[in-house]
A and B are shown apart, each in its own frame.
Chain A
Amino acid sequence: MHNTDPAAAAPVAEPIIRVEGLAKEYRVFDKPEGLAASVRALFHRTSRVVQAVKGVDLTVGRGEFVALLGPNGAGKTTLLKLLSGIITPTRGTATVLGHVPWERADDFRRRFALVMGQRNQLWWDLPAAESFRLHQEIYRIDPARFEKTRDELVDLLGVRKLILQPVRELSLGERMKLELVAALLHEPEVLFLDEPTIGLDVVAQHTIHEFLRDVQRRRWMTVVLTTHYMKDVAALCERVVVITRGDILYDGSLAEIVDRFTTHKIVTLDFDEAPDRSVIARFGFPCEFRGPQVVLRIDRSRIADVLPGILGSAGVRDVSVEDVPLEEIVAELFRSDARAAAVAEASR
């Protein structure tokens, strides 16, 4: 049966997370250096207000996989804490699955999960299977369904034989995998991940990517992830939200971020032998020589014009044209924002 209605073919996702003007301010006390100053601080403490999140608007639809990117201290984790109800905002509103998260209703808490890469939820001295059993009770998971879900999840991650071993004996990567299983046992509709792959090796990262992608698609789960690894983003997220200094700097597709924030492409030429530098320099693009290989950064608008000429140079054996790596784009984005902030600060 064919449906010709274009709206039905690409249904607008039901909004699961709605955030409006959400702001969180902290009062932090300055801890002065030195003993004398510390004694003075006992009587008079100086404090200042830190705006961790300043008036964020965000809507996330069901089944979206969103990456929150930003430098350290940008407010990513604060935003996740607000959305999972650990903290209350200074201003603004948010609903997740129709609930105000910081009211912490049990009905809400049964429907989401938060995994923090640097924090344990599993019982340290017991096998993970015991923590799972506790989750079965506190989330009231039907026993048959619990076993099925658990087996499915541990098999997907290949950790079945680890669940009977005390957690403290496991490696960081193994523990993280079991943390993810524990968090997904109650089949949450919304999953918040705070740097889930931090400190993991490439193989473990890859396994976790595959796993998350698979489970997210199968369950049509809404996932919001913070990370510093662009591999996570490239592997998992279609939508990227860049946060700097508590503000959303960019919210859009991963493809668009590349489009919008890069002016050039990376062209790599392989020669039979190290080429004459002056010949390459003649093209007038920034270039880098690596023996028989040359890497050029060429304006995207000019690539079609200049590439034939370059390829015509004697001795070119192979060529590749690539986008600027995501790491570089994001780093540049953070840097330019920091510069803009400095300029704004100076002009005040």
Chain B
Amino acid sequence: MSGSLEAVRPAGPLQGLRTWWTMLKICLEERLVYRGDFALGTLMRFLPIVTQVFLWTAVFGATSRGDIAGYTRNDIVAYYLLTMLTRAFSSMPGLAGGIARSVRDGSVKKFLIQPVDYVSFLLAARVAHKLVYYAVAAIPFALVFFLCRSYFPPVPDATTIAAFLLSLALSFLLGFFMEVTLGMLGFWFMEVSSIVFGYMLVQYLLSGHMFPIDLLKGTPTGIAGVSLADVVHWLPFEYTAYFSSAVWLGKVKGAQLVSSLAIEAGWVVVMAVACRVAWWRGTRRYSAFGG
């Protein structure tokens, strides 16, 4: 039918972007159906911080030192609050599990049949998810940060703020691509929840979610002159929590800031490629064995 050929719009350079924009809008509408879930969830997420603050107050109470690994008590509180903010960008609740489920229940087939890219679609869905989350979470976040303003050092200069924002954007992409790659393992394993659990555990320890990575500076690795913090610095995890907070608090500066941003960007590229490869190999396997 020649008619259907006329009906196809030519693929301009903007076509991909247009498609993505439509996906984003539709994902936004879908997310808004569930906006109620977020409101309560956001406030609840601040609760663990209270325990952390108590813990560190006790730690500082037991020592005569004014700082631990360069962090004063105020710094520590500010650090945890900033980490919350970074994780609001980098954490991807349900992403890996959702991908694995779509493989298990077969709904991933849609992306084999239709001329649409699964990873782009997931990205649109996640951006929508985050945007709706920020819209709902902005007020509780602002409230908590305002109440805790005395813990924070003075607002840093414009360059630091720019680096901070860039690191947040990259942490979103890094978290996204890491979880997508993890979810794609669903093509090989029926259930990825234990793998995701293991990942979360490593993530919790090495991302700086549990404590500032600076605390690992004194931990030897067995290689002369190399601390555990040096190793973690080259891994992707700390860029999903520790790094942005450290930037805002002025712990990472100058050349080190630039090289750290470069490492973060490098990991984004690596994981973006990894998730593509996993998709490509996974769908090949899926086609060969299941369907």
- Chain A residues engaging chain B, CB cutoff 8 angstroms: 26-27, 78, 81, 84-88, 102, 104, 106, 109-111, 113-114, 119-121, 123, 125-126, 130-131, 133-134, 136-142, 145, 186-189, 219-221
Is B259 at the interface (CB under 8 A from chain A)?
Answer: no
The minimal Cβ–Cβ distance linking B200 to chain A, given in whole angstroms, is 26
A119 to B288, CA, bound (A): 21
Closest CB in chain A relative to B269 CB, distance in Å: 25
Q: Which residues of B contact A123 (CB under 8 A)?
A: 26, 30
Q: Do A134 and B288 have beta carbons less than 8 Å apart?
A: no
Q: By the criterion CB–CB under 8 Å, are A220 and B1 in contact?
A: yes
Query: Would you call A119 and B287 a contact (CB within 8 A)?
Result: no
| B33 partner, pick from A104, A114, A121, A125, beta carbons under 8 A | A125
Chain B positions 242-291 with a Cβ under 8 Å from a chain A Cβ:
284, 286-291
Interface status of B50 (Cβ within 8 A of chain A): no
B residues within 8 A CB of A26? 289-290
What separation, in Å, do the CA atoms of A130 and B288 have in the docked complex? 33
- When distances are taken between beta carbons in the complex, the residues of chain A under 8 Å from B115 are 106, 109-110, 138-139
Q: Is B114 an interface residue (CB 8 A)?
A: yes
Is B112 an interface residue, CB under 8 A from the partner?
yes
Residues of A within 8 A of B26 (CB): 123, 126, 130-131, 133-134
Provide the bound-state CA to CA distance between A87 and B1, in Å: 26
Give complex CA distance A93, B105 in Å: 28
Q: Decide yes or no whether B19 CB sits under 8 A from chain A.
A: yes
- CB-CB contacts of B97-137 with A at 8 A, as 1s and 0s? 00000000011011011111000000000000000000000
Q: How far is the CA of A110 from the CA of B113 in the complex (A)?
A: 9
Chain B: how many interface residues by the 8 Å CB criterion? Answer: 34
**Could you list 16 further interchain pairs (A-B, Cβ under 8 angstroms) beyond the known A87-B288, A138-B114?**
A27-B289, A85-B112, A85-B113, A102-B287, A106-B115, A113-B113, A126-B29, A130-B29, A134-B22, A139-B114, A140-B10, A187-B7, A188-B4, A189-B4, A219-B3, A220-B1
Contact in complex: A140, B11 (CB < 8 Å) = yes
Q: Is the CB of B116 within 8 A of A138?
A: yes
Assembly CA distance A187 to B23 (angstroms): 21
Task: Tell me the total A-B contact number using a CB cutoff of 8 A.
Answer: 93
Contact B112 A133, beta carbon cutoff 8 Å: no
Given contacts A109-B115, A141-B9, A187-B7, A86 and B19 within 8 Å (CB-CB)? no
Bound complex: CA A138 to CA B106 (Å): 20
B22-79 contacts to A, CB under 8 A, are: 22-23, 26, 29-30, 33
* Given contacts A26-B289, A27-B289, A137 and B18 within 8 Å (CB-CB): yes
Point out the residues of chain A lying under 8 angstroms from B155, CB to CB. Answer: none
Q: Is the CB of B1 within 8 A of A219?
A: yes
Cβ-closest chain B residue relative to A131: B26
User: Given the complex of chains A and B, what is the CA–CA distance between A121 and B11 in angstroms?
Assistant: 24
Q: Show 13 A/B contacts (Cβ-Cβ < 8 Å), sorted by A.
A: A87-B291, A88-B284, A119-B106, A119-B107, A126-B30, A130-B26, A140-B8, A140-B15, A142-B6, A142-B7, A187-B4, A189-B1, A189-B4
Consensus secondary structure, chain A interface: loop
Contact flag A137-B287 (CB < 8 Å), given A85-B113, A186-B7:
no
Q: How far is the CB of A81 from chain B (nearest CB, A)?
A: 5
The residue on A at minimum CB distance from B106 is: A119
**Which residues of chain A have C-beta atoms less than 8 A from B1's C-beta?**
187, 189, 219-221
List the A side residues contacting B110 at CB < 8 Å.
121
Task: Pick the 10 closest A-B CB pairs, nearest first.
Answer: A87-B291, A137-B22, A187-B4, A109-B115, A140-B9, A106-B115, A138-B116, A88-B287, A137-B19, A125-B33
Rounded to whole angstroms, the CA-CA distance of A267 and B114 in the bound complex is 50
Q: Return the contact of B8 from the options A27, A110, A126 (Cβ within 8 A).
A: A110
Bound CA span A114–B30, Å: 24
Distance in angstroms between the alpha carbons of A78 and B290 in the assembled complex: 10
Considering the complex, give the chain B residue whose CB is closest to the CB of A105: B115
Give, as a whole number of angstroms, the nearest-CB distance from A145 to chain B: 5
In angstroms, Cα B114 to Cα A302, docked, is: 55
Shortest A337–chain B CB gap in Å is 25
A111 to B115, CA, bound (A): 10
How many Å lie between the Cα of A85 and that of B291 in the bound state?
10
Contact among B9, B23, B107, B290 with A142 in the assembled complex (CB-CB below 8 Å) = B9
For B21, give the chain A residue with the smallest CB separation: A137
User: Which one, A87, A106, A121, A134, contacts B23 given CB within 8 A?
Assistant: A134
Identity of the chain B residue whose Cβ is nearest the Cβ of A125 in the assembled complex: B33
* B113 contacts A109, C-beta separation under 8 Å: yes
Which residues of A sit under 8 angstroms from B4, Cβ to Cβ?
Answer: 111, 186-189
Return B225 CB to nearest CB of chain A, in Å: 45
- When distances are taken between beta carbons in the complex, the residues of chain B under 8 Å from A86 are 109, 112-113, 287, 291
B8 near A141: Cβ-Cβ < 8 Å: yes
Report A-chain residues with C-beta under 8 Å of the C-beta of B19. 137-138, 140
Q: Which residues of B contact A134 (CB under 8 A)?
A: 22-23, 26
